[in-house]
Amino acid sequence: MITKIAWKNIWFKPLNTLLSIILLTASVAIITLLILLQEQFEKKFNSNVEGIDLVMGAQGSPLQLILSAVYQVDAPTGNISYTEAKTWMDNPFVETAIPLAFGDNYNGFKIVGTTPAYLEHYGAKMAQGKIFRENFEVVVGSAVAEKMQLKIGDEFFGSHGDSAEGEVHDTHAYTVTGIAAKTGKVVDNLILCTIPSVWAIHDHGHDHEGENAHNHEHAEGEAHDHNHEAHAHEGSDAHDDHHNHAEAHTHDREHDHDHDHDHEAEISEAGKEITAVLLKMKNKPALLSWQYMIPMNTKMQAASPGKEINRLFSLFGIGLQALQYLAYGIMLISGISIFIALFNTLKERKYEFALLRVNGASRTELLSLVLIESLILCVTGFVFGTIVGRIGLVLISGSSEEEFKMSFNPFTFVWDKEGYLFLLTIAVGIIAALIPAIKAYSLNISKTLANA
Amino acid sequence: MISTKNIAFSYGKGTSFNFPDIVAQKGSTLLITGGSGKGKTTLLHLLGGLLKPQSGEINIDNTNIAAMPDGRLDNFRGKNIGFVLQQAYFVESLTVLENVVLASWLGTGRQATEKAKALLVQLGLQDQLNKLPSRLSIGQQQRVSIARALINDPKLLLADEPTSSLDDENALTVADMLDRLARQFGTALVIVTHDQRLKDRFLNQINLS
Ligand SMILES: Nc1ncnc2c1ncn2[C@@H]1O[C@H](COP(=O)(O)OP(=O)(O)OP(=O)(O)O)[C@@H](O)[C@H]1O
Ligand SMILES: [Mg+2]
């Protein structure tokens, strides 16, 4: 009954109520969104990085290397020589080494040349079919298969680079031989094939994605001669002459491969390039020393994913923190708005309170009436906020899915943090109602009624 | 019935009262008159347990409410004492019917909806049941508060200036109504007023001076 009166009372002043609820909803929504984002973001990042001690790739930003090689979100730092990488991969300190060669894309889904160890590493079992063995056989991730409606035996052409608008390499069709089971990790959004497939498509070792002047120099070799000839008759047209070191290297990632290099026959490893290698070390001290040794002795670098991701999180952290403060600010304001609403009506409501007492209500019942009114607002605000926050997550998930192939699940609950948020909301409600409630509690009925 | 013995009360320095003993039997009416500032409202609040006397006894059906602890007094008041105040107050967000039902719930813990309806109908308010109290005329509001005061069959009905805001005709109608209802419900009725018009209406009178 007290709850019913409280309920009727708060809707008796709909504007006050609406304002308080909107403010509460806004703050709870922002905080919920942040909690979910942070949680799922970190989980995604950490689950993908599990079991990878070092990432070896071209020199440049280590963070960029990690983002591109592990998470497939950034452009790669460049390419590295396969033969050089191989000497490190075969080192006895290494437990597993998974080479990656970035190739084309199919409707925005990256086609990555690698070894079956990559699938194994992410625990991706074959849902259908079998692992790629021959060149141009591909295994598609579960999300790719679902979105592109790919089945075993389907064939498709890749487009160059990492955007769907790239030039179509229509000489080699890929054949789907396997579909990987869902893992919730990056594999789901990748198309995997053998490394030689990537080489074959790309001009035999001239995959220039993300190439920079540095890593190019050491890569010059026989393969260049071939290319040189191939380009020679075309003069200096749109596609840059990447081996022309004397000139400024203006060529970029969109480097064209406009001519056919249909060399399916043999692909030798000599002079070939790959993009990165994921390393799991047997020897943990080497994990540290390699981060210094590799850049000193080669044109490569070895970056620790854990370290870089921590760095990234702490960068993110500042932004998230600012948003969090904003949300707490709004929550403070909503608390104040509840307080003002309750306090303002106290004057008119003191007769109502006196009346309730005359009719037999106790002091505590009045106290709880005021508290319940405030708590109804807070719980309503919390429920709406939780829902709105998740709607926000769905929207963000939609755009992050498009851009980074990273989606968020709005139906997970982070019980502890959201529980704290609930307690915080309740606390705001209680604090806001405290003074009005105590006033109601200590109301002098006789005086109130006599001075009417 | 209600009877008092030597009640004394003080608001602090200067204003202290020694009230004459009063008695009102079940079903009968006592009129307490007196000029402004003579302590009529104070006495009524004492009788209703809204104030506590410094000394003396207030016995309602053999229960001395002067000696009752606060929590129990709230309970006792809700169940056994009905108030009709000079100005009618309501929980503004509840309808007329809900306000009366609320009083039954606060007093007894049960929601006597049917009884509340019957009572309101008896007082000629059948068309106002689901309106908000603020939509009613002053006279109608007063009748609602009378219905509310009677909903729990109280042993004591207290009325503070129930007629002062009404015209001559209505004043007597309300006085008659209260008197009749007190008899019907078997409750002791105490009216405090400075309204001269009521002086000839009730035989049983005490004057504060
Ligand atoms: N809360 C209070 N504190 C101090 N003095 C009070 C208080 N309430 C009333 N008084 C004083 O007690 C006296 C009696 O007041 P009370 O309200 O009982 O008079 P009343 O007979 O009902 O007058 P009226 O006919 O004007 O309503 C007055 O002199 C008043 O000033
Ligand atoms: Mg008075």
Q: What is the pLDDT of residues A187-246, one digit of tens each?
A: 888 899 998 888 887 654 344 444 443 444 333 333 333 444 444 444 444 444 444 444
Q: Which 13-32 residues of chain B touch chain A by CB within 8 A?
A: none
Q: Which of A11-15, A119-123, B147-151 has the highest mean pLDDT?
A: B147-151
Q: What is the mean pLDDT of residues B159-169?
A: 85
DSSP string of A39-80?
A: HHHHHHHHHHHTT--EEEEESS-HHHHHIIIIIS-S--S--E
Structure tokens of A96? 């597993």
The CA dihedral of B161, B162, B166, B170, to the nearest 10 degrees, is -140
- Short-list A368, A362, A387, A366, CA closest to A429: A368
What mean pLDDT value characterizes chain B? 91
Q: Which residues line ligand 1 (CB under 6 A)?
A: A 447, 450; B 11, 15, 34, 36-42, 194
CA atoms of A283 and A255, how far apart (whole Å): 39
- Tokens representing A284 are 């943990």
Min Cα–Cα distance to chain B from A13, Å: 9
- Please say whether the beta carbons of A144 and A135 come within 8 A: no
Given CB atoms, is B41 within the 8 Å cutoff of chain A?
A: yes
Q: How far apart are CA A116 and CA A126, in angstroms?
A: 11
Query: Which atom number of ligand 1 is nearest to the Cα of residue B12?
Result: 4
Task: Report the C-alpha gap between A164 and A158 in whole angstroms.
Answer: 9
| A-interface mutation test, from B42, B93, B164, most A Cβ less than 10 A away | B93
Asked if pLDDT for residue A250 goes beyond 70, the answer is no
Find the ligand nearest to B40 CA. 1
Mutation pick from B15, B89, B98, B164 vs chain A, by most beta carbons of A within 10 Å, is B89
Ligand 2 centroid from CA B84, angstroms: 13
Cα separation, A432 vs B136, in Å, equals 34
Helix, strand, or coil here: A105?
strand
- Choose the residue to mutate in B7, B9, B15, B193 for probing ligand 1, maximizing ligand atoms within 8 Å of C-beta: B15
Domain boundaries, chain A: 2-46+321-450, 54-303
Angle formed at CA A193 by CA A189 and CA A196, multiple of 5 degrees: 145
The four Cα atoms A144, A145, A147, A151 give a dihedral, to 10 degrees, of 150
Partner A contacted by B11 (CB < 8 A): no
Cβ separation A450–B74 shorter than 8 A: no
Mean pLDDT lowest for which of A205-209, A299-303, A329-333, B23-27? A205-209
Rounded to the nearest angstrom, the distance between the alpha carbon of B40 and the centre of ligand 2 is 6
Report the atom number in ligand 1 closest to the C-alpha of B44.
18
CA of A282 to the centre of ligand 2 (A): 93
- Whether residue A396 has pLDDT greater than 90: no
Query: Can you give the pLDDT at residue A34?
Result: 86
For residue A227, what pLDDT is reported?
41
| Distance between CA atoms of residues B161 and B84, nearest Å | 9
CA distance B94 to chain A (A): 7
Ligand nearest to the CA of B45: 1
pLDDT at B70: 87
Residue B54: pLDDT band by 50, 70, 90 thresholds?
Answer: very high
Q: Which of A48-62, A240-254, A371-385, B60-74 has the lowest mean pLDDT?
A: A240-254
Say how many Å lie between the CA of residue A157 and the centre of ligand 1.
97
Q: What is the model's pLDDT at position A165?
A: 66
Selecting from A5, A365, A446 the residue whose C-beta is nearest the C-beta of B91 gives: A5
Q: Does A12 touch chain B (CB under 8 A)?
A: yes
Which residue of A8, A11, A449 is in closest CB contact with B85?
A449
User: Residue A40 pLDDT > 50, yes or no?
Assistant: yes
Interface test with A, best of B102, B141, B142, B155 (most A CBs within 10 A): B102
**Residue type for position A352:** E
Using CB atoms, which residue from A352, A361, A452 is nearest to B74?
Answer: A361
Q: Which residues of A touch B86 (CB under 8 A)?
A: 452
SS3 label, residue A207: coil
Looking from the CA of residue B43, the nearest atom of ligand 1 is: 18
Judging contacts by C-beta atoms under 8 Å, the chain A residues touching residue B51 are 446
Structure confidence at residue B85 (pLDDT): 87
Q: What angle do CA B16, B18, B21 make, to 5 degrees?
A: 155
Q: Identify the CA nearest to A281 among candidates A42, A56, A45.
A: A56
Cβ of A360 within 8 Å of Cβ of B86? The answer is no
Closest Cα in chain B, distance from residue A395 (Å): 40
Residue B129: predicted pLDDT = 94
pLDDT, average across residues A127-144: 88
Strand blocks (E) in B35-176: 55-60, 63-64, 81-84, 156-160
Instruction: Provide the residue type at A395 as one letter.
Output: L
The answer for B 104-123 residues in CB contact with A (under 8 A) is: 105-107, 111
Is residue A5 within 8 angstroms of chain B, CB to CB?
yes
Model pLDDT, residue B21: 93
Question: How many angstroms separate the CA of residue A21 from the nearest CA in chain B?
Answer: 19
- CA A340 – CA A20 distance, rounded (Å): 10
Task: Return the higher-pLDDT residue of B140 and A73.
Answer: B140
| Angle separating helix axes A415-441 and A14-49, nearest 10 degrees | 160
Among protein residues, the one whose CA lies closest to atom 14 of ligand 1: B39
Q: What is the CATH number of domain B2-207?
A: 3.40.50.300
Mean pLDDT of the region A116-143: 88
**Selected residue with higher pLDDT from A241 and B171:** B171
Q: What is the DSSP letter of B128?
A: T
Distance from CA of A433 to the nearest CA of B (A): 19
pLDDT surpasses 60 at A364: yes
At A391, the pLDDT band (50, 70, 90 cuts) reads very high
A445 reaches B (C-beta below 8 A): yes
| Residue in B50, B75, B87 nearest the CB of A445 | B50
Distance, in angstroms, between A448 CA and closest chain B CA?
11
Q: Under 8 Å CB-to-CB from A62, ≥6 apart: which residues?
A: A301, A303, A304, A307, A308
Among residues of chain B, what percentage have pLDDT more than 70?
100
Kindly provide the ipTM of the predicted complex, given to two decimals.
Answer: 0.92
- Residue B46: its pLDDT value, please? 94
pLDDT above 70: percentage of residues in chain A: 81
Number of Cβ atoms within 10 Å of the Cβ of A38:
17
Interface probe, candidates A8, A350, A358, chain B, greatest B C-beta count within 10 A: A358
pLDDT by residue (tens digit) across B102-146?
999 999 989 999 999 999 999 999 999 999 999 999 889 999 999
Minimum CA distance residue for ligand 1 atom 31: B37
Q: Which residues of B touch A358 (CB under 8 A)?
A: 48, 50, 77, 83, 85
Ligand 2 centre distance from Cα of residue A333 (Å): 43
Interchain CB contact of B45 with A (< 8 Å): yes
A-B Cβ pairs (cutoff 8 Å, strict):
73
Alpha-carbon torsion, ordered A106, A112, A113, A117, to 10 deg:
-130
